[in-house]
Amino acid sequence: MMVTRRAFGSGVLAAPALVIGHRAGAQAAWPSRAVRIIVPYTPGGVSDITARLLSDPLSTAWGQPVPVENRAGADGVIGTEVVARSPADGYTLGLVSVGHPVNAAFYKLPYDTMRDFTFVTQTTSTPLVLCAPRAFGPSTPAELVDYAKAHPGVTFAGTGGVVRLAPVLFAQRTGITLEYVPYRGSTQAHPDLIANRVNIMFDTVPAALPHIQSGALKALATTGAQRSPQLPDVPTLGEAFLPGFEAATWGMIIAPANLPAPVLAKLNADIRAALRNPTVVERHKTLGAEVVSNTPEEMRAFVQAEMEKWGAAARASGVQPQ
């Protein structure tokens, strides 16, 4: 609201009709300059790649540059705050991941996860894979549960976010106890996992796939709604053992709260069209990610549900926001 008041300024008193007409005309002409996409993560991840893949078709559709800016730090919080504090004019967007709702369980955030953003559309969904060392006995989710009940002390590697909370939710749903072993990332966790110094991991399919293909790790199940195209012979956890269990990393486009309705409608339509671009679809397939999209209303409801699901899992495991 402070931005709105400053934008009107003293001219509102002198010529309200003129200002209103000017604002309406500016809104109709959107975009009249560059539209930046802030990625609150380091370059090279799925979110960053998605933003850069969308940049070209959106630039063509809008006739304006669409630069991508990486503002990494604090698990995405730093860059996401930049989006929250930007003017609600459609010229600053963010491409965030499932970490957006999950971070509320881990951090005292400088913004409100729901209230301070406009949700434009989902972009991708990437399932996890429950994997284990070849030397580890269980080879199915059911065998894992039986083993964990008979052998207390089964460990899981976690790197934060859903990769940490998916095994927590699995343990809660099956009545077993798993011990958390923290890692900074998959690259650091994989040597210990392969050597069976840690027993299981719910990792992203792209990260774990090379080790599964080499035989160093075995895949017990994936966590999407359907089987992963990269692991077609591996059942989903829902079909193999736990109906309804889903856990995925995903991406979405966000903007500051209170984005004008006409701008939001155009953003949603144009970004969904760009996501259907064959180059965008095929490149994501090579990453193990499925291109998806939805309406702003569907996206908001989805984020709220994810926030509640993972927040409950975090609280039940004793996580306190820091």
Answer yes or no: is pLDDT of 276 > 50: yes
Answer yes or no: is pLDDT of 7 > 60: no
Q: What angle do CA 79, 157, 168 make, to 5 degrees?
A: 85
Per the DSSP assignment, residues forming a β-bridge with 155 are 179
- pLDDT tier at 203 (50, 70, 90 boundaries)? very high
Per the DSSP assignment, residues forming a β-bridge with 38 are 69, 94
Q: Do domains 33-126+249-316 and 127-240 have the same CATH topology?
A: yes
Structure confidence at residue 9 (pLDDT): 39
- When pLDDT is averaged across residues 213-232 and rounded to a whole number, the result is 95
Answer yes or no: is pLDDT of 19 > 70: no
- When pLDDT is averaged across residues 50-57 and rounded to a whole number, the result is 97
Print burial letters for 300-322: b (CB count within 10 Å at least 16), e (below 16): eebbeebbebbbebbeebebeee
Per-domain residue ranges of the chain: 33-126+249-316, 127-240
CATH class of the structural domain 127-240: alpha beta
The CATH architecture of the domain made up of 33-126+249-316 is 3-Layer(aba) Sandwich (3.40)
Answer yes or no: is pLDDT of 28 > 60: no
- When pLDDT is averaged across residues 98-121 and rounded to a whole number, the result is 96
Answer yes or no: is pLDDT of 6 > 80: no
Whole-angstrom distance, CA of residue 74 vs CA of residue 142: 36
Beta strands in 6-158 (DSSP E): 36-39, 68-70, 92-97, 117-133, 155-158
Answer yes or no: is pLDDT of 130 > 50: yes
For residues 186 and 159, the answer to whether their CB atoms sit within 8 Å is yes
Structure confidence at residue 234 (pLDDT): 97
Cβ contacts of 273 within 8 Å, gap of 6 or more: 57, 61
CA Rg value for the chain:
22
Structure confidence at residue 287 (pLDDT): 86
Structure confidence at residue 160 (pLDDT): 82
Whole-angstrom distance, CA of residue 26 vs CA of residue 23: 5
Answer yes or no: is pLDDT of 4 > 70: no
